[in-house]
Chain A
């Protein structure tokens, strides 16, 4: 079994209908208008994107999208295929939270006076794994990386002390089972696609789906 096969989400006991969080990870050419082309695949079906991150990948010229939605397996698979069908998309993976390591970055701006008078900065830093990014006379900015629950917890903790501003980034996720995209890209560059390039999940499901 190639790495590819394990990346593709195939739950042992498929829950086709139940909704859960899925991370759709897309590798695509860095081209004007592609974000729109991908976004309308969701909006056409009235599906809300909960979090979207797009940034250059480890390979020059190729962008990586991290899209977070809450939907059923069936819906996510169809969406991923529609995304992958776009001319400038190289690959779209979809994985559950169990299959990724993910982080979000949050920044908190609080009044320095408040924070030094009423709580000890040290306690905050220790308890929430925060780091102070900027300390000025009038305000201090903390940064925390983690899951949403963790960054939310600090919002709660800071609320009594005049949280001036808060911002959270989109989710970024690394697929646990991925061997990266460099090898894959070589296949894409080849005029004749390799065996592995186009997966047909029926093969992997084997006797689960197909019975004579």
Chain B
């Protein structure tokens, strides 16, 4: 009897979720079913039916009107990175959709889960070169994990459910759904929304084979100088605790790729720093000295490995990754452990001996001391008149104590921020890693703030990168996103200038960029701010920015021709890293 009542209630509940409505309503209902509460977007002709429906959903779906679709998708990326949820973007057909491409490519290479909804011309107009028609599916195929064109409203629920499942499962990535206007308008009786948890042709994560974990443990247990490299896979897999437990039991020093930064706190005793071109001295040099290299959730990007034929040739390589295509792609693994590191790491931790490597760790400390003496001290505590980017970061660390979310753009300031920013928490470092998208910082920071509303979000941006997407100040103004904007202005496209200085005989070809009055620009958007050009005012200005309620823009004039060191010159081995 009771069972029957429950059954009947369940049936009514199901029945209540069926509805008669338009494809647009089905889409918005689906988004709500998927737990979406924030959407970044920009309306236009071919997506108007969805925006019309959105008018009635404003209590459930917060829509952030960006100033450019590229800003919208970067904001969604920032949101996904800090919240761990899927970022959602709306854009119209044609230019609206093509403006998403940079963000899609960025999300694809940095494995960021996104669902992008684009409007499309009526199905009967497809292929007629109709107004604002563009072949979005084919344009976005190489830069999406999956995409699909909906021409019939009856497809919408199933496709949306698949899209969310694909975007967030396995190795995450961007998904795009292109919906023709007729499907948005089409009236249908829709069934209750059902989430997707299986697609027969899709294996989000490979099966774990215990044999490889055993092999890996055996190699690790025999190692004298083991070294862990970790990437964003640890964060995407929410395996921070599992990772920490692994390194703490095995006592292995661990270095991070820039997207892996923050998975363990900066001051963890086994955190030995940053890998790659502008990474720390020890991790780079000792890559070519360790006897076992354990790569976890990272993909051996060329900016991490330098010259491949001279990369860790002496070491046994163990590679843990969820994506089978990554294993053996750039660096051949002796033991490839396929699987989600959330599952494989505890198994591995179980099998490794409790250990510590004091002499080996001391080597990292020695190299670190050399780096401190030759690079870091001068960068963090400069004695010259000019301010350095490093000292700005040191002040931020002192004020925020490592609890802020740091969003960066691309270039010198990005490398300095990643090198020196202190992180206590995971999902606090948001940057464009694989694609190196200038203009990412400001819009991503807006999204990052919506993804982590209780955190202080600081967008650190260069004078060049800021001028690529400054229009998003309008979004900040309209929605009151409390983003702290810190422009490190060296009056140059600094990273390119650095390369021209070092590798092109100082032929400064088109890197001399002039800027508007950034503070006045912010003021035009009713955002408070100030410019600082001497050290005496720096600390107070930073404190003012961070403690300011709401958004604030601080421009700091730093030395024009400072370089980021250490540096592994392109085409060189990681052990050829230069300190100056």
Contact = CB atoms under 8 A, between A and B. Distances in A.
Contact of B336 (A37, A85, A89, A202): A202
Contacts of B513: none
Contacts of B328: 77-78
Contacts of A87: 145-146, 166, 199, 201-202
Interface string B206-233: 1101011001001100100000000000
A153 interface: no
B200 A188 contact: yes
A172 interface: no
Contacts of A210: 215, 334-335
A90 B199 CA distance: 10
Interface in B166-218: 166, 197-203, 206-207, 209, 211-212, 215, 218
B324 A85 contact: yes
A29 B201 CA distance: 7
Nearest to A40: B142
Nearest to A78: B329
Nearest to A28: B201
A203 interface: yes
A34 to B, nearest CB: 10
B325 A90 contact: no
Interface in A71-99: 77-78, 81-82, 84-85, 87-90
Interface string B129-152: 000000001100110011101000
B323 interface: yes
Given A87-B202, A191-B198, A202-B336, A82 B141 contact: no
Contacts of A13: none
A60 to B, nearest CB: 13
A200 interface: yes
A36 B206 contact: no
Contacts of A188: 200-201
A90 B200 contact: yes
A85 B201 CA distance: 10
Contact of A203 (B137, B146, B197, B212): B212
Nearest to A203: B211
B565 interface: no
A189 interface: yes
A208 B544 CA distance: 63
Interface residues of B, number: 35
Among A28, A77, A81, the one with the most B-chain Cβ atoms within 10 Å of its Cβ is A81
A193 B338 CA distance: 14
A62 to B, nearest CB: 9
A189 B207 contact: no
Interface in A151-209: 185, 188-189, 191, 193, 195, 197-198, 200, 202-203, 209
Interface string A46-82: 0000000000000000000000000000000110011
Contacts of A29: 201
B141 A37 contact: yes
Contacts of B335: 202, 210
A195 B142 contact: no
Interface in B265-304: none
Contacts of A84: 324-325
Contact of A85 (B149, B199, B219, B323): B323
Given A90-B201, A200-B338, A212-B219, A33 B329 contact: no
B222 A212 contact: yes
Interface in B323-346: 323-325, 328-329, 333-336, 338
A136 interface: no
A88 B201 contact: yes
Contacts of B199: 87
Contacts of B141: 33, 36-37, 40
Given A87-B199, A90-B200, A198-B338, A203 B209 contact: yes
Nearest to A62: B201
Contacts of B218: 212
A137 interface: no
A44 interface: yes
Nearest to B332: A209
Interface string A25-41: 00011001100110010
Contacts of B147: 33
B297 to A, nearest CB: 16
Contacts of A197: 203, 207
B531 to A, nearest CB: 45
- Between A32, A37, A40, A185, the greatest number of chain B beta carbons within 10 A of the residue's beta carbon is seen for A37
Contacts of A82: 325
A39 B531 CA distance: 52
A77 B201 CA distance: 19
A78 B198 CA distance: 26
Contacts of B198: 191
Nearest to A77: B328
A78 B142 contact: no
Contacts of A202: 212, 215, 333, 335-336
B341 to A, nearest CB: 16
A5 to B, nearest CB: 13
Nearest to A44: B142
Nearest to A90: B201
Nearest to B199: A87
A63 to B, nearest CB: 11
Interface in B106-147: 137-138, 141-142, 145-147
Interface string B149-160: 100000000000
A28 B149 CA distance: 18
29 contacts: A28-B201, A33-B138, A36-B141, A37-B141, A40-B141, A40-B142, A77-B328, A78-B325, A81-B324, A81-B325, A82-B325, A84-B324, A84-B325, A85-B324, A87-B145, A89-B201, A90-B200, A90-B201, A185-B200, A188-B200, A188-B201, A191-B197, A197-B207, A198-B203, A198-B206, A203-B209, A203-B212, A210-B335, A212-B219
Interface of A: 28-29, 32-33, 36-37, 40, 44, 77-78, 81-82, 84-85, 87-90, 185, 188-189, 191, 193, 195, 197-198, 200, 202-203, 209-210, 212
Given A82-B325, A88-B146, A200-B338, 16 more contacts: A33-B147, A33-B149, A40-B141, A40-B142, A44-B142, A81-B324, A85-B325, A90-B201, A189-B200, A193-B203, A198-B324, A202-B212, A202-B215, A202-B335, A209-B334, A212-B222
Interface of B: 137-138, 141-142, 145-147, 149, 166, 197-203, 206-207, 209, 211-212, 215, 218-219, 222, 323-325, 328-329, 333-336, 338
Ranked nearest first, the 7 interchain pairs of A and B with the lowest CB-CB distance are A81-B325, A198-B206, A90-B201, A87-B146, A188-B200, A87-B202, A198-B207
